[in-house]
Amino acid sequence: MLTTVMMALMASPLGADDPVSFDREIRPLLAMRCILCHGNAEESRRANLRLDTMDGLLGEMRDGGQVVVPGDPAASGLYQRISTDNPDVRMPPADEGHDALSPQERLLIHRWIKQGAKWEQHWAWVAPIQPVVPDMMSHPVDAFINRRVERAGLKSSPRADRATLLRRASLDLIGLPPTPEEVDLFLQDDQPGAWDRQVQRLLDSPHFGERWARVWLDHARYADSRGYEKDADRTIWPWRDWVINAFNQDVPFDQFTVEQLAGDMLDDSTPEQVLATAFHRNTMTNDEGGTDDEEFRIAAIVDRTNTTMQAWMGLTIGCAQCHDHPSDPFSHREYYGLFAMLNQTQDADRTDEHPVLPVLSLADQSLLEIAKSERMQAEEDLNNRLAVLATEHIFSETSITERGDRYWIDDDLPVGANANEVNGEVWPWQKGHEKIPAFSGSRMHVASASGPTTVRQQYFESAYLPLVLQEGDQLVAHVWLDPEDPPAQIMLQFHMPGDWEHRAFWGGDHNPWGQLGTTSRIRIGDLPQTGQWVRLELDPAVVGLKPGDAIDGWAFTQAGGTVAWDAAGVLRDEHIEQASLHSLQAFEARQRSLLNPVIPEDVLAVIRTPMDQRDPAGQTRLEHWYLRNVQIESRQELAALLKKRELIDQRIAAIEASAALVPVMRSVSPEMARTTHVLERGSFLSPGDEIDPHVPELLHPLEPDRLPDRMALAKWIASRENPLTARVHVNRTWERLFGRGLVVTLEDFGTQGDRPTHPDLLDWLAVDFMDQGWSHKELCRLIVTSETYQRSPAPQQGVRELDPENRWLSHAPRVRLEAEAVRDQALAASGLLDAQLHGPPVFPDQPAGLWQVTYDNRDWPQGEDRQRHRRGIYTFWRRSSPYPSMTTFDAPSREICSVRRIQTNTPLQALVTLNDPVYVEAAKALASRMVEEGGEDDSARLQRGFRLVLGRMPTSEELSLLMELAQSARRQYLNTPGEMEAILLQWPGTPPSSADPADLAALVVVANVLLNLDEVLTRG
């Protein structure tokens, strides 16, 4: 109570005529004393009276009269009820344990009504308008800050010394301390703009992204595990690297926003933009047996709704999940309007984390790039060789036009031939024998007819690979007639699908088929000589066949006698396999002759194109394919090159298969769109009315002509019209740089949150931020180049009494380093830091047995190659058991969105920095550096150590205290050689040989003290 009054008194002078601001003075008072029963929440509203809207304040009381009569406090129901002495009527009600308003508070309301009861909207619901800078000669930040410093009667501190300043900015901007050499460069830079140059250097540092990503990861509740009971591992670190890159590349904050909320919905979205949406896949998933996936899917959407509003707009709308927000104008239904826009993604608390995006680590990406460039090289080598081989082989003259037989029936029927049966014989094969030697191969067709002119016929159809006739082909068969049993007639007959009408005969006309004298039955001549193999040749045209016809069946027919047949097919311009292996022309001709060539389509297409119509690329493709795959000499020569390329291909495939599968957002298809219902009391088992996606009425509308989907929500948040987004980001950035926000409640810009200490500065910065293209780097630059930022941390005389909290920033605030920075700094100062960026999470030392896991036996890896000294942002973050020293230094568990780490100061923190093995290791490494870089002299070594942790030189008092410590420690170690030996064990690297053991042991003690100095743990 007291504090409210003090606020009111501080904020407004006491004069009765000074204007009272509703927003600054009256609303906070109503919010604290009245709004819970007379506010936005319909359920809990009493007497149907609301004091949070203009209509409510100017409306009727339930029992008559007006709530507020502008200009007339006595006639105003509100004033009557707060000022009456009658305890039955007085508000807030005494019988419920509430105190009456104080006289000052009553007076304030009296004055406000008297002055006309002017209503103002809550400041944060109105988009910022850039105020005029009060002093155009000053840096804008200083102009606003100095005005308040002066008004508060304070005196500003001068600029801090350069070493302090550089350490401050380094820790603030990149989260790491400056090296003594960096400090020296700054100290020696006596040209104008020295500070700007340092700021530029820090903004350009790749560690800038790591430091600011760290902040964003708390917003995003980033963790390497899924949460809940099983808390299984989750692969989502590529998104963390995306954030680091985004800050390093200074991606405009509006784009940063849209990509994370709806990057997958952008036109032609890149993999990076899809990866950005993993922001909202940091929600927890429950893999416990028996859990209802829909329950936890809803829980994830609730978390996304709350997180979106909290992370970007500084709103705490979680209460509207179950009922109307009690104090801010957001209804239960409006909550589900926002929820509806986020309710259309595919993820559904599935164990496989569907949907996912394959992402390669940077290391793998570079391996892949190397492999791909090697592949290009291999390809080039191949092509170079091919070019040479082409000249050698493509046009080499191999005779390909020799005529020769190509047998279709020889020792076997063609594949798939379906032959008839005669006397139980399918095809009367006989091995060659003494009487009739086979003409070709080992066997032949031998048949005897039962009577002198009895017709006997053997035939087959349906050969799978037909005999396709070419230009110049002659049909060929070889026949042997038995001199002791000669036939009266022999006939050849050919089949194309459904058509046997192609017959040619020798000898007498003894069969009835077809029409004599036509192609269906034509006599060629007399029977040939008996007792010897005779070659029969037949022009296909004679039996009505032409080039291109596909013969799939064949018949040998005889009238009487015994006849042997063998080696039947065609005589053609010989395109044999052998020729193909040497000559492209032969190869082409052969391919053209085949019904089903088994070569790539595009190569075949070239072959089928007449030579003079081919394009050069096609021709080259053909030639190269031929040389790689067919031509016998080149094929062998190229085999090694091809093998090499194949191995590279395998490597590429392996790298691609190792891609991390990162959960991302994907919208459901329109036909799968979900209907959103209000959930009564927030329970997924109690769906109420159906709700269309929409944004709270109080705020600016969605862009017109746009579906109210996730993208619309993203654009709405990243809009200049949004009264909160820019203010919230500017405020949070300010908090990282000054230890407290201009609005202290970073998480609540609503009516229950704090009002800004410097509303005009906040608005000026917010508008400027948007004007500068939402550039986070420019925002940082603007603030750190102000005088305000550069002030000394020591207050001027009397300031502490007047402004104990340093609200008005007359001097630089001292802020304890955040968890990650405490450790990063120790590693950096001691030289242990492994400064590489990006990659999978790492497992630095932690005490054994901390992971007592419920359902599996995963444990903290203990191997040697663990990258133990990476920055804290890369440490594996398990929600159910975060890295212990982080927790001790106030890091959240990352189960839900957290935008502010409340700083504590505890003995457990002291135990970490004194005894955690990594700090002991850092102390030893720091001792090494003190010896190696400081030189022989004790005092020089101590100064070096001091500068490594703090940048500045020690004062003479500090130096002498350190000297004393070093000497005492040295003496004590000489008296306890066992202890001395023990402290020198487990030394990181090689202990410097130039120091004697007692000196070195003493320096470890000194280094341990240095790393625990208040000034080291604090950014001053």
Q: Segment 712-741, which members bind other proteins (CB under 8 A)?
A: 740
Q: Which of 288, 380, 721, 937 binds other proteins (CB under 8 A)?
A: 288
For position 132 contacting other proteins by CB under 8 A, the verdict is no
Determine, following the binding rule CB under 8 A, whether residue 234 of this chain makes contact with other proteins. Answer: no
Nearer CB in complex with other proteins: 615/859? 859
For residue 284, CA distances in Å to 91, 220, 440, 896 come to 45, 11, 78, 9
Take residue 501 and report the two structure tokens written for it: 């009408």
904 binds other proteins (CB under 8 A): yes
- Least Å from the CB of residue 654 to other proteins: 36
Q: Is 465 in the site for other proteins (CB under 8 A)?
A: no
Contact, 611 vs 516, CB < 8 A?
Answer: no
* 753: contact with other proteins by CB under 8 A: yes
**Using CA atoms, how far apart are residues 168 and 737, in angstroms rounded to an integer?**
9
- Chosen residue from 142, 347, 549, 747 binding other proteins by CB under 8 A: 747
Q: Which stretch binds other proteins (CB under 8 A): 14-22, 311-319, 342-350, 396-404?
A: 311-319
Shortest Å, Cβ 177 to other proteins: 17
Matching residue, tokens 């002495």: 85
DSSP per residue, 130-143: PPPPS-TTS-HHHH
Judged by CB under 8 A, does residue 1018 bind other proteins? yes
* Closer to other proteins by Cβ: residue 713 or 742: 742
Quick one: which of 705, 957, 990, 993 contacts other proteins (CB under 8 A)? 957
Of the candidates 277, 286, 344, 790, which one interacts with other proteins according to CB under 8 A?
286
Q: Tell me the C-alpha distance between 756 and 745, whole Å.
A: 9
Cα–Cα dist 263/261, whole Å: 6
Using the structure block, give the residue that is written with the tokens 């391919």.
Answer: 591
Q: Which of residues 841-880 bind other proteins (CB under 8 A)?
A: 847, 849, 852-854, 879-880
- Determine phi and psi for 120, rounding to 5 degrees: -130, 145
Q: Which is nearer to other proteins, 155 or 592 (CB)?
A: 155
The least CB distance from residue 750 to other proteins, in Å, is: 5
Interacting stretch for other proteins, rule CB under 8 A, among 108-116, 226-234, 402-410, 664-672?
226-234
C-beta of 892: minimal distance to other proteins in Å?
Answer: 9
Selected from 56, 540, 696, 882, the binder of other proteins by CB under 8 A is: 882
Stretch that binds other proteins, among 506-514, 531-539, 930-938, 961-969 (CB under 8 A): 961-969
Stretch (H or E) spanning 640: helix 632-657
Which of 376, 611, 640, 794 is close enough to bind other proteins by CB under 8 A? 794
Which residue in the set 163, 630, 920, 1000 belongs to the binding site for other proteins (CB under 8 A)? Answer: 920
Q: Are 317 and 325 spatial neighbours (Cβ–Cβ below 8 Å)? A: yes
Identified binder of other proteins from the candidate list 982, 989, 994, 996, rule CB under 8 A: 982
Binding mask 255-284 for other proteins (x = CB under 8 A): -----------------------------x
DSSP 160: P
Q: Are 153 and 10 in contact (CB under 8 A)?
A: no
Amino acid in position 325: H
The position carrying tokens 């003594």 is 180
Torsion of CA 86, 89, 92, 93, to 10 degrees: 90
How large is the greatest C-alpha to C-alpha distance in the chain, in angstroms? 148
Site string for other proteins, 20-39 (x = CB under 8 A): --------x---x-------
* Alpha-carbon span 768 to 766, nearest angstrom: 5
How many degrees, rounded to 5, is the angle at CA 59 between CA 54 and CA 62?
A: 135
- CB of residue 646 to other proteins, shortest distance in Å: 47
Q: Which helix (H) or strand (E) holds 689?
A: strand 687-691
- Antiparallel, parallel or unpaired: β 522-525 and 533-538: unpaired
Radius of gyration of the chain (CA): 45
Concatenated DSSP letters for 76-131? -HHHHHHH-S-TTT-SS-GGGTPPPPPHHHHHHHHHHHHTT------GGGS---PP
- In the range 316-345, which residues lie near other proteins by CB under 8 A? 316, 318-319, 326-328
For the chain, the 3-state helix, strand and coil shares in percent, each to the nearest 5, are 45, 10, 45
Q: Which residue in the set 881, 939, 953, 992 belongs to the binding site for other proteins (CB under 8 A)?
A: 881
> Looking at beta carbons only, is 689 or 805 nearer to other proteins?
805
Q: Kindly state whether residue 796 participates in binding other proteins, applying the rule CB under 8 A.
A: no
Q: Residue 660, exposed/middle/buried by CB under 10 A (0-12, 13-18, 19+)?
A: middle
Q: Which of 372-380, 522-530, 860-868, 957-965 is the region at the interface with other proteins (rule: CB under 8 A)?
A: 957-965
- # binding residues, other proteins (CB under 8 A): 112
State the minimum distance, in angstroms, from the CB of residue 814 to other proteins.
5
Structure-derived torsion over alpha carbons of residues 916, 921, 925, 928, reported in degrees to the nearest 10:
110
Three-state DSSP class for residue 950: helix
Interacting span for other proteins (CB under 8 A) from 385-393, 450-458, 492-500, 903-911: 903-911
Q: Does 289 bind other proteins (CB under 8 A)?
A: yes
Stretch that binds other proteins, among 263-271, 392-400, 444-452, 900-908 (CB under 8 A): 900-908
Residue of 48, 650, 968, 994 that binds other proteins (CB under 8 A): 968
Helix H or strand E segment including 460 = strand 455-461
Among 66, 138, 205, 291, binds other proteins (CB under 8 A): 291
Q: Give the binding range for other proteins (CB under 8 A) out of 273-281, 350-358, 561-569, 979-987.
A: 979-987
> Which residue, 536 or 1007, has its beta carbon nearer to other proteins?
1007
Q: Kindly tell me which of 273 and 751 has the beta carbon lying closer to other proteins.
A: 751
The correct pick among 15, 616, 704, 804 for binding other proteins (CB under 8 A) is 804
Instruction: Give min distance, CB of 35 to other proteins, in A.
Output: 11
428: how many CB neighbours lie within 10 A of its CB? Answer: 17
Closest CA to 382 of 670, 658, 729, 639: 639
